[in-house]
Every structure is written in C-alpha cells, then in structure tokens.
C-alpha cells in the first residue's frame, strides 16, 4: 500500500529532501514486501535448497531459516566484510535447542561473485536475486544469465528490480540508488526476461510489490518481479557437480539442531513422556481423592486401574482413541503407564515408529517396569506438596 506524503522522497531507506513533489511511503516498507514475496513463494513451493544471491545484510536468509521445508540455505555476496559482520545473525539460539526443527538445516555464506561458477550452487530448488541485476554493468549483465540460468539451473529463480515507470512519482532525477547501473521500465525488463527464459528453457511470470497510489495505477508496481520456472531438468548439472570447482570462499557456516538427530529426538521424546505421564499421574490422584480411596497395598496380581474423571460428552476423538489403548494402573505407591498407550499420543507416535524405538529412546532416562512394557513413577512426588 502506498501513500502520498509531502516533503521527502523515500524508497526503501533512501531519503532526499525536496519540496516540489509528494513522497511515496510504503506500508509495510518496500524491502519487507520483497522479502515477504519470497517467503510466500517458499511456502507455496516448499523448496529444500534455497540460495540468495547478493544476500547483503542477510535479512532474507534470517526470514527463510524459519521455513520448516528448508534444509539448506546459502548466501552469496561480493562484500566479505558484511558477511563476516552479520553471520552471527544466522546462528541457532537457545530456543532452537529447546524446540528443535523437524528437518536438518545447514546455512552457508560464501564470499564471491554471482558471475563465478561454483558447483556447490548446483541443483537448488529456488534461487533469489533481489535487487541485484541493476547493480551489474552491461558486460556483467550479459554474463549473468549464463551463470545463473545456464550453469546453476535451479528449479525456480525469482528476480526483482526497480520499475523505472514508477520513478515519475518520485521527486528524483537520478536512479534510486547511486550504485545502480540502470533502472528498467516494465517493457525493458520483460523483454530481457522473456529472451533469457527462452534461451535457457524457463517459463516466466511477471508481478511486483509496492502498489502505486490511487489514480496512478498505470505506472505499475514500484518493484517489478519475474518468477522463472525450469521447464525440464537436464543431466548437465549432475556431471558438472562432480567435476566443477569450488571458487567461493566459505565465510560462515552453521547447522541447526533437529529431530533427525538422535540426541535431540531423544531429548524431546523424554520430555514429552514425562509430561504425559505426569498429567495422568495427577489425574489419577484427583480420582482417588474424589472417590475417597487410598492406594491399595502392593499386589501385582490386582493393580488398581486408572479411572478417567472426564464426562463422556466432553471426550474428544483423541480421548476416544486413547480409551482403546492399555490403561494406566497403580500398584502400591507406584504408577505405571503402558508404552503402547504413550506411543498412541500423536506427537510421540510421529517421533517413534514403534514401541521398540520408544523403549530405546527412553533407555537410561526414564524408569520402566520389569518387562519394560510401561513407564514406572512414584504415585506421589515431592512437588505435589509444594
């Protein structure tokens, strides 16, 4: 959404003092709209390998690292100092260790030019070039398609660039950024994009972000975007991947904890089992108090069964499913929850394929009964009296 505001001209973070025209201010800011566009594209297509060419301050990568589908994130930029300075923004935080991702994630930052061929950038699902091409001179722009479309050849390429048709609304007589080598009209960008798509067997759709103010719709979006999709896969990349060169310098790399890693999966499973067993134990204690019953003496042949205090009409489908599983029981001052019941909880069933795997993950962390068929805990815990 764009608004007219007097005095200044603002495109992203660029401000120039003027008095002859009103400014266009975007809400959300234009750079956020561009990142949101890529984020939406990732959510739509669920790519596992994503690269940001000309990644700058890593803002886009910082957003994409939270997408559950992504397993590999790569950033490439010519400014080595900026990569080193901002790299720590991509490091896992405490929350990432407490609540691990479903899938592994590796993030790598490379110092290098998008005009260089590095085989580590092959076979990507999506490559983003956000506000990049306008920084290339004519010679470099001529080489760009050969490297990105021809060599890297990802499944999807998204390219954004300023729309010079929109510039008539700005009180500027020069480009939006002093480093821009050109700014294309919609016709110029689409002509270039269609030619590149045809040469490298891609289709392309045009859209943009940064809507113009009312009654100025004819200028189009402030930022124009082309989304290129590969028409057919080739075998060339497979050959190049094994014989290509590593020309980029690794500036930073990190990996995130995930449930695919056995130590983290065990930690989550143990936590969930403790939580569910403790809930059942407390419900059992409430049931005992309501029925004015005391725990019976230890009698392995006559355990006290768990009695649910939930009214039948309040039972959910999950509750009804759990009702068909082996029920918790009490023997003396010990409370038992069968593993077959525990694995029936959706989250635990997702993390463990079967009872045997659940038993292995709980080993040395949670006490089981003699035949290892149930979790065993004290019926009363010191925390109950706190």
Share of the chain above pLDDT 90, in %: 67
Q: What is the 3-state secondary structure (H, E, C) of 191-256?
A: HHHHHHHHHCCEEEEEEEECCCCCCCHHHCCCEEEEEEEECCCCCHHHHHHHHCCCCCEEEEEEEE
- Residue 55 reports pLDDT greater than 50: yes
163-207 confidence digits (pLDDT tens): 999 988 887 667 787 889 999 999 999 999 999 999 999 999 999
Domains and CATH numbers, the chain: 30-256 (3.40.50.150), 262-385 (no CATH)
Strand 156-162, strand 202-209: pairing: unpaired
Q: At what angle do helices 262-290 and 355-362 cross, to 10 degrees?
A: 100
User: What is the mean predicted confidence (pLDDT) over 151-159?
Assistant: 97
Give SS3 for 16: strand
Taking 3-state DSSP, the helix, strand and coil percentages for the chain, each rounded to the nearest 5, stand at 40, 25, 40
The answer to whether the pTM exceeds 0.85 is no
Distances (CA, A) of 385 to 206, 216, 291, 380: 66, 70, 20, 9
Are the beta carbons of 362 and 348 closer than 8 angstroms?
no
* Res. 8: pLDDT tops 50: no
Give the mean model confidence (pLDDT) for residues 148-174.
90
Yes or no: say if 204 and 226 are a contact pair by the CB < 8 Å rule.
Answer: yes
CB 60 within 8 A of CB 77: no
């Amino acid at each position: 959404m764009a608004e007219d505001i007097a005095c200044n001209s603002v495109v992203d973070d660029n401000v120039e003092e003027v008095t002859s025209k009103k400014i266009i201010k975007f809400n959300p800011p234009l750079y956020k709209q561009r990142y949101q566009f890529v984020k939406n594209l990732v959510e739509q297509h669920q790519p596992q390998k994503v690269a940001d060419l000309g990644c700058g301050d890593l803002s886009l990568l910082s957003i994409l690292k939270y997408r559950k589908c992504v397993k590999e994130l790569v950033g490439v930029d010519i400014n080595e100092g900026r990569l080193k300075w901002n790299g720590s923004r991509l490091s896992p935080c405490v929350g990432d260790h407490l609540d691990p991702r479903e899938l592994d994630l590796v993030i790598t930052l490379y110092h290098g030019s998008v005009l260089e061929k590095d085989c580590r950038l092959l076979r990507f699902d999506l490559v983003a070039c956000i506000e990049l091409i306008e920084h290339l001179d004519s010679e470099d722009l001529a080489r760009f398609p050969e490297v990105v479309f021809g060599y890297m050849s990802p499944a999807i390429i998204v390219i954004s660039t300023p729309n010079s048709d929109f510039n008539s609304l700005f009180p500027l007589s020069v480009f939006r950024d002093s480093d821009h080598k050109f700014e294309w009209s919609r016709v110029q960008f689409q002509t270039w994009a269609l030619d590149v798509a045809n040469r490298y067997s891609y289709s392309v759709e045009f859209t943009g972000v940064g809507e113009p103010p009312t009654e100025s719709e004819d200028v189009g979006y402030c930022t124009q975007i082309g989304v290129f999709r590969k028409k057919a896969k080739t075998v060339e990349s497979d050959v190049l991947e094994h014989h290509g060169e590593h020309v980029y310098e690794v500036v930073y790399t990190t990996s995130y904890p995930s449930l695919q890693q056995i130590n983290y999966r065990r930690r989550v499973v143990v936590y969930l089992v403790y939580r569910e067993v403790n809930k059942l134990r407390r419900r059992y204690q409430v049931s005992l108090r309501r029925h004015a019953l005391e725990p019976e003496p230890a009698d392995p042949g006559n355990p006290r069964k768990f009695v649910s205090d939930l009214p039948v009409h309040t039972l959910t489908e999950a509750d009804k499913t759990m009702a068909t599983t082996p029920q918790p029981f009490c023997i003396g001052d010990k409370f038992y929850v069968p593993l077959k019941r525990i694995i029936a909880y959706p989250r635990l069933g997702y993390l463990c394929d079967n009872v045997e795997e659940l038993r292995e993950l709980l080993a040395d962390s949670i006490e089981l009964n003699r035949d290892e068929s149930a979790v065993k805990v004290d019926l009363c815990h010191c925390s109950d009296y706190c």
